[in-house]
Amino acid sequence: MTLIKTSILSLIATFFKMLSGLVINKAISIYIGPSGLALMGQFQNFIQIVLSMAQGGINNGIVKYTAEHSYNDDELGNLFSTGLKISLLTSIIIALFLILFSYQFSIFVLDNDNYFYLFITLGCTIILFVINNLLLSILNGLKEIKTFIKINIIQSIYSLVFTSIFIISFGITGALLALATNQSVIFFISLYFIKKNNLLKFNLFQKKFDKKTALNLLKFSEMAIVALIATPLSQFIIRKYITINISLTEAGIWQGMSYISTTYLFIITTALGIYYLPRLSELMDISSLKKEIIKGYIIIIPMIIFIGSLIFGLKDIIIQLLFSKDFFPMRNFFIYQILGDIIKIMGWLLSYIMLAKAMTKYFIISEIIFFISYTSLSILFINQSGTIGAIYAYITSYILYFFFVFFIINKKLRFITL
């Protein structure tokens, strides 16, 4: 599967994700408004953080080593069995924390202890979240891209129907409850497709825990947990800061802009995740790595510039379709957000080398630099310019991130001739 074919399939998946998001966000805008979208964003970021911890952060490692050992059942058995045991252990621990401290989490995340049952529900279902993501990571490593995309499309359609019904019926409570339970149902759909197409030998999950494999996965665990916590946590802090110092409505408008960015970038990030990580993991010489990355820049950067330009040109229509008139102040954010998105992907193309080659220390440092710069600069710029200051910080932080990753890759691999 080539990068272009993967990108086309990602585009199809993104269409369904955007369609789902359009209807869901329209329902939120009509029935709840910007303040409801801000609460949704807080809970969604919290779910991303706890899910990354519950997974033990091993999924990128599962993708890498599945790609490397795809023709070696003995190695795959060690990998899948050890990965499953780690996932079960970490998800049970996180589940217990969510259930035991549900009141505290409700106050901290949603500023209201009445939502404690959402965290209990999340605790009871998070194991299915984790196992589903483990299975999807294995499909990714095996390059079962069509099945991977198909499951993502079904997830988008299911999310559209289920969440919309809950929003219309129960308002903000229904929206939050849908977020807490969506992916649990998708686990059964993933399992159905895997069994139907005989994509996995389930006896490969029955071997004993392998210490060597666990240590290899631990390198990715460290990287993934830092990466998967850093961005949602920074967004959580920024949204909270806007809410306290400006208003919950402004936080919702900023959240809406972030949603648009995340949705259209899904085309790119999906292609990178399901093509680049397995591909770069396979390549052992610097020359081949360099060719693959150059090819990525030639294909991906013009693509994101084109899509970004299209999004900017249609910004008023997009706001009307996805949200409501309350979100029109967002139109001033588009040009800066799209510029930041382009710089972000330029950095990510290089950072995937650090992931694929398990450059743990440097990857973690790069994520910490981004987290500190994005959060601190957002507070500084928000104080100076209002809500749009968070987007100025987004651009500045990704410029710093790009140059740091560029420097490290060149220093460690002599990858780029300056």
Residue pLDDT, tens place only, 345-373 = 999 888 888 877 767 788 888 888 899 99
pLDDT at 38 over 70: yes
pLDDT for res 341: 94
- Report d(CA 129, CA 57) in Å as an integer: 13
The string of pLDDT tens digits covering residues 388-413 is: 999 999 999 999 999 999 988 887 77
Confidence of residue 169 (pLDDT cuts 50, 70, 90): confident
pLDDT for res 64: 76
| Crossing angle between the packed helical segments 211-245 and 34-54, to the nearest 10 degrees | 160
pLDDT for res 1: 53
pLDDT at 87 over 60: yes
| Neighbour tally for 362: CB within 10 Å | 19
pLDDT at 339 over 90: yes
Question: Cα separations (Å) of 386 from 37, 59, 251?
Answer: 19, 38, 11
Three state DSSP letters for 205-238: HCCCCCHHHHHHHHHHHHHHHHHHHHHHHHHHHH
Task: For residue 120, give both structure tokens.
Answer: 């209990």
Segment of 19-33, 37-51, 251-265 carrying the highest mean pLDDT: 251-265
- Report d(CA 273, CA 206) in Å as an integer: 27
- Report d(CA 124, CA 180) in Å as an integer: 10
* Gyration radius of the chain over CA positions: 21
The string of pLDDT tens digits covering residues 96-150 is: 999 999 999 999 888 888 889 989 999 998 999 899 888 888 887 777 777 877 8
b/e map 108-131, b = 16+ CB within 10 Å:
ebbeeeebbebbbbbbebbbbbbb
- Taking Cα atoms as reference points, which of 293, 305, 315 lies closest to residue 343? 305
Helix, strand, coil percentages (3-state) for the chain, rounded to 5, are: 90, 0, 10
pLDDT for res 389: 95
Residue 390 domain flag:
yes
Number of domains in the chain: 1
Question: Cα separations (Å) of 301 from 346, 347, 356?
Answer: 7, 11, 21
Give the sign of the dihedral formed by CA 414, CA 344, CA 226, CA 182: negative
Question: Cα separations (Å) of 21 from 40, 73, 333?
Answer: 13, 40, 19
pLDDT for res 324: 72
Which domain, by its residues, includes 301? 3-413
pLDDT for res 60: 75
Residue 362 domain flag:
yes
pLDDT for res 23: 72
Residue 142 domain flag:
yes
Whole-model pTM over 0.85: no
pLDDT at 167 over 70: yes
Confidence of residue 20 (pLDDT cuts 50, 70, 90): confident
Confidence of residue 344 (pLDDT cuts 50, 70, 90): very high
pLDDT at 301 over 80: yes
Average pLDDT over the chain reads 82
Residues 6 or more apart whose Cβ sits within 8 Å of residue 6: 145, 270, 271, 274, 275
- Taking Cα atoms as reference points, which of 64, 87, 356 lies closest to residue 205? 87
Residue 293 domain flag:
yes
As a whole number, mean pLDDT of residues 149-169 equals: 81
pLDDT for res 340: 95
Residues 175, 163: contact at Cβ < 8 Å?
Answer: yes
Task: For residue 294, give both structure tokens.
Answer: 């150059």
How many CA atoms within 13 Å lie on the side-chain side of 58?
30
Residue 418 domain flag:
no
Residues 142, 199: contact at Cβ < 8 Å?
Answer: yes
pLDDT at 290 over 60: yes
Residues 262, 340: contact at Cβ < 8 Å?
Answer: no
As a whole number, mean pLDDT of residues 221-250 equals: 83
pLDDT at 418 over 50: no
- The percent of residues above 90 in pLDDT, for the chain, comes to 21
